[in-house]
Amino acid sequence: MRNPIPYFIQQQYQKEKLKGQFKAASMFVDISGFTKLTETLMHYEKNGAEVLTQVIFNPLVKSIYDHGGLITAFAGGAFTALFPLKQLRDI
């Protein structure tokens, strides 16, 4: 499990900087038909949502973190990710 608070934000917090901003690219992912797909999988296997998590979400989330991004929100079959610009990560 990854720490949900990026290191550069933790550093600012330790310096008692409780406000701030950074430039980033954002990405919104929404899996169309997620609820219906989960319900269908549950007819065949008890843990339909867990299957989707392992097959779809885990690789996506890993890829986002591997590329310097972070997940800011999950909602059903959707999530939002931010990719801070590299030159601002270590401020």
Of 87 and 26, the one with more pLDDT:
26
By the 8 A CB rule, do 70 and 82 touch? yes
pLDDT at 91: 44
Q: Which amino acid is located at 45 in the chain?
A: E
pLDDT at 3: 67
Percent of the chain as helix, strand, coil, to the nearest 5: 45, 20, 30
pLDDT in tens, 4-20: 777 788 888 899 998 88
pLDDT in tens, 17-74: 988 888 999 999 998 888 888 788 877 776 766 777 788 888 998 999 899 898 988 8
Domain boundaries, the chain: 32-91
Closest to 28 measured CA to CA, from 88, 84, 72: 72
